[in-house]
């Protein structure tokens, strides 16, 4: 159960299939790459390191793949940079989150990507923090270096 929950969280947090037009700013395109979670919390508590350390998010060509251990989750992400904070809608197309949509907010700078998801699928987070008795998932990713 912990592994399934980790997959759901990772997928929601990391998932990014970017539907960006050719006029997309370079900083949005800079989300493409491989991301490793440096920190994570769920429902106001630290996310287990043993799960965080086996997670990986890959974003590119308008798609995302989140892997927890060897189990992949794939889908799409729609970004809206006009909102403050910027928003992300993540929809699973293959794997444990097939057909599910998660609402999130995000920010990126240089080699850091921070995403806060509502894993309940009910509402979009309004700030980068989680609270007890919620399904808010906050992950800070660092870009994997070649």
Residue 129 has pLDDT above 90, yes or no: yes
Query: 């965080």: which residue's tokens?
Result: 52
DSSP E strands in the chain: the ranges are: 33-42, 45-46, 55-60, 63-68, 71-80, 86-94, 101-109, 112-118, 136-143
3-class secondary-structure state, position 7: helix
Q: Identify the structural domains of the chain with CATH numbers, from first to last.
A: 2-143 (2.40.128)
Q: How far apart are CA 146 and CA 137, in angstroms?
A: 27
Residue 22 has pLDDT above 60, yes or no: no
Per-residue pLDDT of 68-121, as tens digits, reads: 988 899 999 888 989 999 999 999 999 999 999 999 999 998 899 999 999 999
* pLDDT confidence tier of residue 29, bands split at 50, 70 and 90: low
Confidence (pTM):
0.80
């Amino acid at each position: 159960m912990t592994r399934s929950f980790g997959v759901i969280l990772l997928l929601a947090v990391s998932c990014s299939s970017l539907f960006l037009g050719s006029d997309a700013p370079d900083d949005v395109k800079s989300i493409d790459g491989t991301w490793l979670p440096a920190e994570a919390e769920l429902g106001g508590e630290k996310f287990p390191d043993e799960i965080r350390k086996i997670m990986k998010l890959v974003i590119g060509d308008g798609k995302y793949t989140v892997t927890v251990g060897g189990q992949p989750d794939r889908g799409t992400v729609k970004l809206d940079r006009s909102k403050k904070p910027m928003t992300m809608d993540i929809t699973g197309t293959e794997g444990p989150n097939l057909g599910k949509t998660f609402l999130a907010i995000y920010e990126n700078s240089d080699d850091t990507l921070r995403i806060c998801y509502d894993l309940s699928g009910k509402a979009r987070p309004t700030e980068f923090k989680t609270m007890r008795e919620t399904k808010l998932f906050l992950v800070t990713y660092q870009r994997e270096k070649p």
